[in-house]
Chain A
Amino acid sequence: MPPIPRDDLIVCTHCDAVFTLERPAAGQRAKCARCGTVLITPRRKAGLQIIAVSVAITILIIAATIFPFLSISAAGTSNSVSILDAALAFSDGPLVALTLATAALIIFVPLARVLLTIYVLVPIVLDRPPARGSTQAFRLSEALRPWSMAEIFALGCAVALIKISDLADVAFGPAFWMFSTLVVLVVVQDNFLCRWSVWKSLDKTQA
């Protein structure tokens, strides 16, 4: 006999405290009374907003990767790079591994996460049964969360710019502004998403 899920309880994954489950109203938050971890944060129309933001992020990532990101000029010579070029900077010898890692951390992981999120949320918002492999997709997206480093790359840009600025003239390309917007949107998307609610909806339709 399969084990029966205890839907009347909620457990904090950080400190293992048990509480009786009480669904907060939209806009409210349920926090763990022992360690303060936020457990549930439902929002009205969150699904639709997250999908909209995710689509925007997808477009921006693709555009920001292709268009010139920064350009530099000094004494008549100039050079302009895209984000892909920056990721490919470690392309000689044993540093190739680092190239792959950087490209993944700043482009492919954030892209994979938004695509997975769209794949999982679209059926939920449309009140359809979840798409095939939704649970695996959402699990993967959650596992990738700490490895999405677009915002760190943005701060890295700022530091590099100041380092270079007394060496040569630096100009921003269109991709720079796209990337700045992108970083804000990634943070917004992450904060709108209530994991508990998504898992709940994936579960409800399965039964």
Chain B
Amino acid sequence: MEVAGQNPSIKSARDLGVVACTRCLQVWPAGTPSCARCGSTIVARDEKSLQRVWALWLVGLMCYVPANMYPMLQTRTLLSVQEDTIVGGAVELMHHGAFGIALIILIASVVIPLGKFIAIAFLAISVKRPSMVSNHHRQLMYEVVEYIGRWSMIDIFVVAIMSSLVQLNTLAAVNPGRASLFFALSVIFTMLSAQAFDSRMIWDAQRAERNIDR
């Protein structure tokens, strides 16, 4: 099947008077309250979804601030105790010449989370007002956000592995810092925020624009 682009012959389920269960794909007549096959609640469009998206987005953003202020990792060696924030740790790695790892950490902990906040906010705004970006690009953006969001957890796992492994009595010890909790919460809340977004709304906006054109 080829991608049909802005093919106007493709109809939305809502226009046709049917509604699909988002969990198991079973199609029902419009107005069916719950799916008899899998038991999920059926809504044609999740009207409250934007509220949930914004609420979870805000909590995620609020957690992201302390995640960057507090130390992520505390390294204790014979002579010194060192506390690194996320960015500080990456800079430290660069000084040691480990550019690849520093880049992975920076991408996973700074670029992806910030990009996600911007992308979710953009998508949530774009379904309410006309957007210059085509539906296909926004759909792609949503799928990328949903897919990539989980990978931010990598920093938490690195901290977990390092702080359990590097426990060499007096010689050296690595312990997790407070930022790890906030960072994990931030990732979890942005994942929930992305999941709360009803991507069908992206395509509704197109329909509304077409109706105005006529």
Convert A1-45 into 0s and 1s, putting 1 for each residue whose CB lies closer than 8 angstroms to a CB of B.
Answer: 011111101110111111000000000001101111001000000
A33, B2: Cα distance in complex, Å? 6
Say whether A14 contacts B158, CB under 8 Å: no
Q: How far is the CA of A11 from the CA of B27 in the complex (A)?
A: 7
| Residue numbers in A under 8 Å from B176 (CB-CB) | 89-90, 95, 98
Q: Contacting B11 at CB < 8 Å: which of A7, A18, A79?
A: A18
Chain A proximity of B81: nearest CB distance (Å)? 15
Residue of A nearest to B36 (CB): A2
Partner of A135, one of B25, B37, B155, B163: B37
Across the interface, name the chain B residue whose C-beta is closest to A76.
B171
* A202 in contact with B3 (CB, 8 Å): no
Partner of B156, one of A97, A102, A135: A102
By the criterion CB–CB under 8 Å, are B37 and A202 in contact? yes
Q: Are A81 and B165 in contact (CB-based, < 8 A)?
A: yes
Query: Are A77 and B171 within 8 A (Cβ)?
Result: yes
From B47-55, B123-131, B145-153, give the one contacting chain A: B145-153
Cβ A79 vs Cβ B150 within 8 A: no
On whether the beta carbons of B164 and A89 are closer than 8 Å, the reply is: yes
Q: Knowing A5-B26, A75-B171, A167-B172, say if A17 contacts B158 (CB, 8 Å).
A: no
Collect the chain B residues with CB atoms within 8 Å of residue A18's CB. Answer: 10-13, 16, 18, 27
* A-chain residues with CB within 8 Å of residue B37 when the two chains form the complex: 5, 135, 199, 202-203, 206
A196 touches B160 (CB 8 A): no
Query: Which residues of A are found within 8 Å of B38, using beta-carbon distances?
Result: 135, 138-139, 199, 202
Contact (Cβ within 8 A) A30 B1: yes
Report the bound CA distance from A90 to B10 in whole Å. Answer: 51
Which residues of A (77-104) have their CB < 8 Å from a CB of B?
A: 77-79, 81, 85-90, 94-95, 97-98, 101-102
Residues from chain B with a CB closer than 8 A to the CB of A101 are 184, 188
Q: Which residues of B contact A168 (CB under 8 A)?
A: 166, 168, 172
- Asked if A192 is at the interface of the complex by the 8 Å CB criterion, the answer is no
Q: A89-B164, A168-B168 are in contact. Are A95 and B180 (CB under 8 A)?
A: yes
Contact assessment for B161 and A160 in the assembled complex, using a CB-CB cutoff below 8 Å: yes
Which residues of the other chain, A, contact B1 by a CB distance below 8 angstroms? 30-31, 33
CB distance from B9 to the nearest CB of A (A): 9
Chain A residues with CB under 8 Å of B23's CB are 139, 142
* In contact, B203 and A17 (Cβ under 8 angstroms): yes
Interface mask (A196-207 → B, CB under 8 Å = 1, otherwise 0): 100100110010
9 closest Cβ pairs, A-B complex: A156-B157, A11-B20, A89-B164, A160-B161, A199-B24, A16-B200, A6-B27, A15-B203, A89-B163
Extra contacts besides A14-B199, A98-B184, A146-B191 (5): CB < 8 Å: A13-B25, A33-B2, A75-B171, A135-B38, A206-B37
Q: List 18 A-B contacts (CB under 8 A).
A: A5-B26, A7-B27, A15-B200, A15-B203, A16-B14, A18-B16, A33-B3, A33-B10, A35-B203, A39-B25, A72-B165, A79-B166, A95-B176, A152-B153, A153-B157, A160-B162, A170-B165, A199-B25
